[in-house]
Amino acid sequence: MALTDQLSYVWWIDRDAIAISKKSDTSSLDDKYTGPPAGKEVTLFITKYDEVFISATTGEGIGIDEEPNIPTEFHRALVDRAIQQGYEMSIGSNPVAVQAIQLFEGKWEKAIKGGRKYAKTNRTGSSSYAIRPVAF
């Protein structure tokens, strides 16, 4: 449970859902938490996680003909990481693999830095609005 400073609202996150309640000063547990008033607008700032690629055990996830929610400029980074891991698995039989691992690891790290900068650009989807953080 988390408590906000504004209007004594509390919130919980459980099983991929959020519960919002207003906390009152009564001592009775039944009356202590009430739902927000009808028509109350709630704005959530979240981090969206993508589905996993198709799992061998369940068969659920992103298929070969689907595209992940990762921005397209970072798709190449996933390929570089997969190539790096492929070379790591063959390091015993391929002496050149060490150089290739270092090359693709460098590309991967560069993409990670670019992705972190991209994540902090305060976008709101395809609109031209920017989000400005405000301290309460």
Q: What is the pLDDT of residue 123?
A: 61
SS3 53: strand
Give yes or no for residue 124 having a pLDDT over 60.
no
Tokens of 73: 């400029």
For 41-99, how does the pLDDT look when each residue is reduced to its tens digit (9 = 90+)?
A: 777 777 777 777 776 677 777 777 777 777 888 889 989 999 999 999 888 787 788 89
Give yes or no for residue 39 having a pLDDT over 70.
yes
Decide: pTM greater than 0.85: no
Percent of the chain at pLDDT > 70 equals 76
Please give the average per-residue pLDDT across 94-116, as a whole number: 90
CA neighbor of 115 nearest in space, from 75, 86, 74: 74
Mean residue pLDDT of the chain comes to 76
